[in-house]
Amino acid sequence: MTESGGTPDLLPLTTAQRAIWASQSMHPEAPLHNQAFSFTIRGPVDLAAFRAAFEQLTDEADSLRTVIVVEDGVPFQRVEPTVEHTVEVIDCSQSADPARAAEEWCLQRYATPLDMQRRTFDSVLLRLAPDCYVWYFCQHHVATDATAVAVLYERMADLYAAIRDGSELPTSPLSQYSDYVTYERSVVAARDSSTRSESPTVAPALYGIKRQEVTPSNERFTLEIGAGRSEELRDLARTPGIQALTPDLTLFQLFSTAFFSYLHRISGQTAITIGAPVHNRPTADFKRSPGLFMEVYPLAVDVDDDDTFSSLYDKVRTAAANLMRTARPGGSSTDENRAVNAVLNYLTTRFGLFGGAQIEARWLHPGAVDAHHQLRMQVHDFTGTGSFTVDFDCSTDVFAAELRPKMLRHFERIFEAMIEHWDRPLAEIDLMNGADRAAVVGRINEPQATTAPSATVVEAFLKRVAEQPDAVAITHGEETWSYADVDRASRSLAAQVDSGSIVGVAMGRSPAAVLAMLGILRAGSAYLPIDPSWPDERIRFVVDDARCSLVVVDRPLDVGVPTVEFATHHDDQGFVDPEIVSSALAYVLYTSGSTGEPKGVMVEHGSLSNYVSWASDFYDRARRLTFPLFTPLTFDLTVTSIFVPLVSGGSIRVYGETSTKADVAVTDVFEEDAVDIVKLTPSHLALLPETMPGERRIGQLILGGEDLTVAAARRAQQQLGGQVLIHNEYGPTEATVGCVVHTYDPAADTAGSVPIGQPVAGMRAYVLDAAGHPVPFGVPGELHVAGPSLAQGYLGKPELTAIRFTAQPLVEEDRVYATGDLARSRPDGVLEYLGRRDDQIKIRGVRVELGEIEAAVGSHPGIAASTAQLASRTTAASTGELIHCVRCGLASNYPGVSFDGAGVCGECTALDEYRDRAQIYFKPEEQLATLLRSGRDAGGQYDCLALLSGGKDSTYVLCRLVDMGLRVLAFTLDNGYISEQAKANIRRVVDTLGVDHIFATTPAMNEIFVDSLQRHANVCNGCFKTIYTLSMQTARDEKIPFIVTGLSRGQFFETRLTKELFTQLSVDSEQIDTNVLEARKAYHRVDDAVRRLLDVSVFEDDSVFNEVRYVDFYRYVDVGLDELYSYLDERVPWVRPSDTGRSTNCLINDVGIYYHRKVRGYHNYALPYSWDVRMGHKTRAEALEELDDDIDVAEVARILDEIGFPGDISDFESGQQLVSYYVASAEIPTPVLREHVAARLPHQAVPTHFVRLDRIPLTANGKVDKAALPVPDEHQRSVATPYLAARTPTEDLLLGIWEQVLAVKGIGVRDNYFDLGGDSIMAIQIVARSDEAGLQFEVQELFESLTIERLGRIVDGSAPAATDPAGESSLPEISSDEIDALAAALQQLDGRRD
Amino acid sequence: MEHAIVRFVNEELLGGNGPRVTADDEIVLDGTVDSLGVTRLVDFIETEFKLAVPAQDVTIDNFRTITTMAAYVRTRQESAATT
């Protein structure tokens, strides 16, 4: 398009063009966006006519004359009046293989990117034969899309035919792309940008590959669906119930269903979003335009494990409908585009005859695509043959060379299954053919050299006795047992035991326990370890369940069956070792399932011997190593530490149980360093001493029982001097201790979890889908194991045994144990553990492994150990029907409220008692003006600063101050959510009154809101602290001696005038003021978002509180509601707000109310309103009506998103939250951790809470004791201090009182008072109750100490009470991690409303 | 009503030149209007006749011809009037 003056116009790029331009700019050297077609023309071509036709085409199609111009880094497009170009003709006909020569030429040609600034196309004719030509037509994607190519092709064919035939040129049907540029600009400008919210996207890890940084390098694989299959697909598409609006839409949905199924299977992910290009040509004119319209939109589907093709199709249909309704010209987003790693392009483009000749159209693959798109699938039928072609464009950086060709094969299996088995579950589709299957199974189970195991461990042990009778077999402290000693002693026990029975061993860890176990085995019986510290019921259950005939004990124990106390001097005369067959039972171990009663796993000698023999070869290697025995005998991990040394000729060093509640013998093992190799759990690693200098004897660690993260392995290796070998041994009890193993390789194992490796000698492992098919490398499935180490089954539970131990004909196994663990295999055959099936959690639609979260958190350098769990939110909500106080309306779900027989709440009853006495707090109105004038000497311009929210109360205050003749500065915080009506009110009021006014703002407001929600479950606390902080600064800067608040009388009672003050403590007005001031000082010391983000230098010391004082207007003035309103009506143009839905001026308020109700279970206005009612400022009916909110949840979600609240609304809708617990030497700020995790996991998987612990609680077996993790309720959430229980009687008493008053369970003595939700009124209650209990301290001492630990010291007199009036001596004591959320106090002290 | 929809299809979707559709042409099945075009039609109907068209109502039965579209709109309007 040219202006009449001839100066070409610069036009902006369209949204789609900008996306292409940006992508190309990142890789200017790569032909990412060369859209090249080769049209093979089967007929002669008139060269002159062809050239003339193309020249005419460039005249007609503005997009061919378009170049990109960059000015100051901003791209524009310009349509040139003409373009210098003649179609080049290349003759390949002389080549031996013209077709191949032409193809090679094309390959070379399109490998170079087109220079958008010069010309956006390339058009060349290649002559293969007199009746065969190839038209190579390449355009930069910035100027074209597939439809545009078809438009240009069709016009080219028509022009060529007309010119060749000498007939009149047909009228050009082409419309101009520049029209669309203008159109898009206008519709985008007119569009309400809020109509479409970007959907969060998690790119699934395809084949488990998590590569982020990749180049555009790419390879294409092509699948010809074939005419027959294509027709079957169209038949399916015509089925009622499948048929959509148009045939193409149906086919698109069907291909999408297959693609989603494929992506789900190869990633294991359930929430999948792909990119779907939409041609975006809404009108007929645009359909004839030669430029770029195509935009990529997200298509998101939640796949469920039990989805069939049919049920998934229904989801796809809904998603496609949503996609089409949101797809609008200019509506795509570059960020959304980059967030998807898979794209499905269903092309409807067709190319007809060329000058009467048949053609073949090929879309050439430039060998590079946008690097974000790891996998692109194209479906097309360019020449309308009715047979579909599917292209898979695979990133060569992401997918290994041997995987790439298999990908399309896997897809093909799914595609065929879809056509043949519409109602089959996706989880059952076999992804591999026979050869692929054999390759995967074979690679995982690579044969290895093995030593044939002895029939029994007894036999192997006796061989050692004969070989090395004097060698040390067991030590315990100074005590030493040789092999001969062990032989003798175990014989003596064996002589007392019948063969063929199950004998309990209820003993602590000792040499005797080892001898007992060995003796029982020698007798031809099976041992059953029993922990003597188990509850009686459990012991009796196990003894009874296993039909134990006898229990060996080391102390008197009543177990319901005969016991024998172990004695080594027993006569073994006559004992002859019986022959023990490998199928004889060796031991029974009880495991507690997550549900139901414990079950006994029966392990036979052959299994035990197979494991021990392999472990001896693998770990000991004939070095006769010493193992520590320090884990419970009831744990199958311990089997290694007992039998491997005894059959290898090494020794056992016994570590008895420690006297602590949790058995931490592991620390003794590492401190003593008297063994060579240690078998332990990953959780044990956290108990290792920080540094262990010097040469270490411990040279190998065997980790088992839990997922081993790379971070934990790396840290352990560093702690142990870098040389230690770390083996990750995987195995359920049902497969005898360990059946898969991997030795940690720091160079190769760098992220996530250490692989579990490959099967041990004699064992086989399979990763199977839901139907028992082996799955390809990288695809998640359930881990199954087979081989001689499999247990016999569950004692007395044949049904359960039959369920877990099954035949798997597809892998030709008669007996396979389904582990319940998820795994995937790497192409090198190494298995990776993905977590328990039941540990998989779905949060916000995304499937995450807790182990992945643990690994991500644990990879932070400051973290020694971590665990994660999905916890239910606790709320204070009582169950049962709500009742409301008949007087004030307070609801029964308010924590701690009680009602008398008449339905009157405790607060109302109490107020009756002390209301009169509380009047001492109030002061005569006359004193107010006098007080506020008293600071005039200081020389400032104003007498006072009035906090003005714009509501009725603060407006009344301001007016009255002006009436009193005071010089007032009005101060309002604009938090970004003040309603327009309120702002208008404020402006009118200050104008009318003629007072100076400040609208304060801060860019940190949104962060403060987020912090406030997290600490206090409302937004007001953060807002109020911001107001106090900024107004204090202003007052100090302006030398204003007083800040006047509009707190109501109800608020005084609610937060300051507790009954204990008047009934028990009989304080005076000044003492109350002192309390309030102390609370205020402590409040500003809390390290919250306000303190972090605002300039708080004014609070560096407490001197500002001497310079600027708070005055509460309504302490002096008592005014009824009617009087207040009629005064306002006459005095100022103030109108009641109607645009916030309640008597508030703030639009974000609903977010706080909604959130508070969800997480705390009651309305945050319940108590304040009840006080309004008691004070007569509201009727009960008004209060109840206002509390019965109807909150717009979508608006809440929008605002949460807007302020950057981590997580989304479904988080607290579901009542579940993801919690990460970690051990670190120092507190790590939550935002730091959140960022660290967010860089490694989908944002949905970022924990809501991070809780620092002293140590991760462990079960007796050394695994994480999930049940013992503290429940992160909303109080404890910000209490990041390690839990410390009470240690002195004083602390114990205080703790009880705090828990009672604060209504929080599980308080630790270092928890911060304000973090626990404490406020000044609760402080008074605590002082009063402590006084009753005989503990004396002052309210301000509580505020200065803030923890039970320090308060306890003050009470006990072991630390001087910090009474320095400036607070200096007390400040350093309050460390930043302890003072956290204090705003609760002043939220209570001050108002939530105007 | 039919007239308004015909005009929208001819002027907006088909651009005003070229062949024109009538109320009884099977414009979806004959490919005149593609699925994206139907989405625009749905937008138009929602705005013009002030009703919300749920996704499950966007079926070939309701959108086969402009006549069937108009019939659908009337049914919806009537049911809205009676409730």
- C-alpha–C-alpha distance, residues A355 and A1063, integer Å: 105
CB contact B81 to A (< 8 Å): no
Which own/partner contact pairs does A1296-1303 have at CB distance under 8 Å and 24+ positions apart? A1297/A1326, A1297/A1329, A1297/A1330, A1297/A1333, A1298/A1326, A1298/A1348, A1300/A1329, A1301/A1325, A1301/A1326, A1301/A1329, A1302/A1275, A1303/A876, A1303/A895, A1303/A896
Own/partner pairs, A488-492, CB within 8 angstroms, 24+ separation: A488/A568, A488/A572, A489/A515, A489/A519, A489/A568, A490/A515, A490/A518, A490/A519, A490/A522, A491/A519, A491/A522, A491/A572, A491/A575, A492/A519, A492/A567, A492/A568, A492/A569, A492/A570, A492/A571, A492/A572, A492/A575
| B36–A321 CB contact, under 8 Å | no
Instruction: Pick B34's closest partner by Cβ from A246, A285, A321.
Output: A246
Which of A196, A238, A283, A293 to probe by mutation at the B interface, max B CB count within 10 Å?
A283
Q: What is the pLDDT of residue A1376?
A: 28
Angle, CA of A1196, A1198 and A1199, to the nearest 5°: 65
pLDDT at position A1207: 64
pLDDT at A874 over 60: no
Q: Can you tell me the distance from the alpha carbon of A408 to that of A390, in angstroms, rounded to the nearest whole number?
A: 9
CA atoms within a 13 Å half-sphere pointing along the CA-CB vector of A973: 23
Structure-token pair, residue A1095: 């300039």
Q: How confident is the model at residue A596 (pLDDT cuts 50, 70, 90)?
A: low
CB A710 within 8 A of CB A749: yes
- CB-based contact (8 Å) between B4 and chain A? no
Helix intervals (H) in A829-979: 850-858, 906-914, 926-933, 952-963
Partners of B11 on chain A (C-beta within 8 Å) are none
CA-based nearest distance B39→chain A, Å: 6
- Tokens in use for B57? 């109502």
Closest among A60, A284, A285 to A156, alpha carbons compared = A60
Q: What is the pLDDT of residue A67?
A: 94
Please count the structural domains in chain B: 1
Q: Do residue A284 and residue B60 have CB atoms under 8 angstroms apart?
A: no
Bridge partners, residue A1112, by sequence: A1045
Chain A residues with CB under 8 Å of B14 CB are: 283-284
Distance CA A274, CA A838 (A): 27
Q: Would you give the distance in Å from CA A204 to the centre of its chain? A: 14
Q: Which of B34, B41, B64 to mutate to test the interface with A (most CBs of A within 10 A)?
A: B34
- Record: contact B18-A284, CB cut-off 8 A: yes
Instruction: Name the nearest CA neighbour of A1030 among A1076, A1081, A975.
Output: A975
Which segments of A720-849 does DSSP mark as H helices, in order?
Answer: 798-804
Residue A1362 pLDDT > 60 = no
Residue B36: which of A243, A282, A285 has the nearest Cβ? A282
Using a CB–CB cutoff of 8 Å, tell me whether A321 touches chain B.
yes
In 3D space, the residue among A267, A303, A306, A225 whose CA is nearest the CA of residue A776 turns out to be A267
A879 near A1268, Cβ under 8 Å? no
pLDDT in tens, A840-852: 666 655 667 788 7
* Contact status, residue A1212 vs residue A1241, Cβ threshold 8 Å: no
Q: What is the pLDDT of residue A1049?
A: 85
**Shortest alpha-carbon distance between residue B71 and chain A (Å):** 17
The pLDDT assigned to A565 comes to 87
Q: Residue A1254: pLDDT above 90?
A: no
Question: Does A325 sit within 8 Å of B35, measured CB to CB?
Answer: no
Handedness of CA A781, A787, A788, A793 (dihedral sign): positive
Q: Which helix (H) or strand (E) holds A422?
A: none
Band of residue B82 on the pLDDT scale cut at 50, 70, 90: low
Asked if the Cβ–Cβ distance from B58 to A281 is below 8 Å, we say: no
* Residue from the list A248, A286, A324 with its beta carbon closest to the beta carbon of B39: A324
Instruction: Work out the average pLDDT over A667-676.
Output: 92
Burial class (CB in 10 A: 0-12, 13-18, 19+), A1234: middle
Q: What is the pLDDT of residues A405-422, one digit of tens each?
A: 999 999 999 999 999 999
In 3D space, the residue among A840, A859, A814, A560 whose CA is nearest the CA of residue A711 turns out to be A859
pLDDT surpasses 90 at A1313: no
Contacting residues of B for A175, CB less than 8 Å apart? 15
Query: What confidence tens digit (pLDDT) does each residue in A946-998 have?
Result: 999 888 889 999 999 999 999 999 999 998 888 777 888 888 899 999 999 99
Residues of B in contact with A321 (CB under 8 A): 55, 58
What pLDDT shows up at residue A204? 85
Dist. CA A826–CA A767, nearest whole Å: 11
Cβ contact B28–A246 (<8 Å): yes
Q: What pLDDT digit, counting tens, does each position of A1118-1135 carry?
A: 888 888 888 988 888 888
How much is the pLDDT for A1361? 40
CA pseudo-torsion sign A1054, A1056, A1058, A1063: negative
Q: What is the pLDDT of residue A1366?
A: 36
Instruction: Quote the pLDDT of residue A210.
Output: 78
Task: Give the tens place of pLDDT for each residue, A692-739.
Answer: 777 889 999 999 988 899 988 998 998 888 889 999 999 999 999 999
Distance, CA of A156 to CA of A165 (rounded, Å): 14
What is the per-residue pLDDT for A510? Answer: 95
pLDDT at A343: 96
Q: Quick one: pLDDT at residue A1091? A: 84
The span from the CA of A1236 to the CA of A1188, in Å, is 41
Q: What percent of chain A stands above pLDDT 90?
A: 46
Residue A878 burial (CB count, 10 A): 15
Would you call A280 and B42 a contact, using CB atoms and an 8 Å cutoff? Answer: no
Residue B59 contacts A where some CB pair is shorter than 8 Å:
yes
Q: Poorest-confidence range of A527-541, A894-908, A1082-1096, A1199-1213? A: A1199-1213
CA A746 to chain centre: 26
Q: Is the dihedral of CA A231, A233, A239, A245 positive or negative?
A: negative
Summarised one tens digit per residue, pLDDT across range A754-776 is 999 999 999 999 999 988 999 99
Higher per-residue confidence, A638 vs A245: A638
Q: Cβ contact (<8 Å) for A278 and B40?
A: no
Q: Report the complex ipTM.
A: 0.85
Inspect the interface and report whether the beta carbons of A321 and B28 lie closer than 8 Å: no
| A217 in contact with chain B, both atoms CB, cutoff 8 A | no
Model pLDDT, residue A785: 97
Which pLDDT band, with edges at 50, 70 and 90, does A1276 fall under?
Answer: very low
170-189 in A: which are within 8 Å (CB) of B? Answer: 175
B14 in contact with chain A, both atoms CB, cutoff 8 A: yes
CATH number where B6 lies: 1.10.1200.10
Tell me which DSSP letter residue A859 carries.
T
Closest chain A residue to the Cα of B19, Cα to Cα: A284
> Is A324 in contact with B35 (Cβ distance < 8 A)?
yes
- pLDDT on residue A822: 92
What confidence category does residue A310 fall into, taking pLDDT thresholds of 50, 70 and 90? Answer: very high
Question: In this structure, which amino acid lies at residue A383?
Answer: T
Phi–psi pair at A907, nearest 5 degrees: -65, -45
Name the residue facing A324 among B15, B31, B36 (closest C-beta).
B36
Top-confidence range, A457-466, A1081-1090, B20-29 = A457-466
Given pLDDT bands bounded at 50, 70 and 90, which one contains residue B17?
Answer: low
Q: pLDDT band for A215, please (50, 70, 90 cuts).
A: confident
CA-to-CA distance for A937 and A220, rounded, in angstroms? 84
| DSSP characters over A328-388 | -TT---HHHHHH-SEEEEE-------BTTBEEEEEEE--SB--TT-SEEEEEE-TT--S--
Distance CA A1131, CA A993 (A): 9
Cα–Cα nearest to A1243, from A789, A853, A666: A853
| Tens digit of each residue's pLDDT (9 = 90 or more) over A21-67 | 888 888 888 888 999 999 999 999 999 999 999 999 999 999 999 99
Which residue from A minimizes the CA distance to B8?
A283
**What is the H or E stretch that residue A819 is in?**
strand A813-825
Chain B interface includes A239 (CB < 8 A): no
pLDDT confidence of A660, banded at 50, 70, 90? low
Question: What integer best gives the mean pLDDT of chain A?
Answer: 85
Residue type, A455: A
A166-175, A902-911, A1007-1016, A1078-1087: least confident range = A1078-1087
CA distances from A585 to A516, A542, A1287 (A): 16, 17, 49
What pLDDT score does A1209 carry? 64
∠ Cα A991 A996 A997 (to 5°): 85
Q: Which domains does chain A have, with CATH numbers?
A: 10-190 (3.30.559.10), 874-914+1148-1206 (no CATH), 928-1136 (3.40.50.620)
Q: Which member of A246, A282, A321 has the closest CB to residue B55?
A: A321
> How far, CA to CA in Å, does A355 sit from each of A72, A148, A157, A924?
46, 19, 6, 103
Does any CB of chain A come closer than 8 Å to the CB of residue B13? yes
Give the Cβ contact number of residue A345 at 10 Å: 20
Counting one residue from chain A and one from chain B, the pairs whose CB atoms sit within 8 A come to 51
pLDDT at A1077: 84
Å between A249 CA and nearest CA of chain B: 7
DSSP A1306-1333: S--TTS-TTTTT--HHHHHHHHHHHHHT
Rg (CA), chain B: 12
DSSP code per residue over A1239-1295? TTS-GGGS-SEEEEESS--B-TTSSB-GGGSPP--TTGGG--SPP----SHHHHHHH
Instruction: Tally the residues of chain B.
Output: 83
Give percent of chain A with pLDDT exceeding 70.
90
Residues B36, A281: C-beta atoms closer than 8 Å? yes
From CA A1062, how far away is CA A914, in angstroms rounded? 7
Would you state the pLDDT for residue A74?
84
Per-residue tokens: A321: 């409908």
SS3 A1350: helix
**By three-state DSSP, how is residue A1191 classified?**
coil
A326 touches chain B (CB under 8 A): no
> Token pair of A875, please?
């709320």
**Domain residues for B30?**
2-82
Note whether B7 contacts A: Cβ–Cβ < 8 A.
Answer: no
Using a CB-CB distance cutoff of 8 angstroms, which residues of chain A are in contact with residue B43?
325
Q: Is the pTM of this model over 0.90?
A: no
pLDDT in tens, A64-116: 999 999 888 788 999 999 998 999 999 999 999 999 999 999 989 988 888 88
Q: Which two tokens stand for residue A151?
A: 């438009």
Which of B14, B35, B59, B72 to mutate to test binding with chain A, by most A CBs within 10 Å of its CB? Answer: B35
pLDDT of residue A1375: 28
pLDDT value at position A569?
63
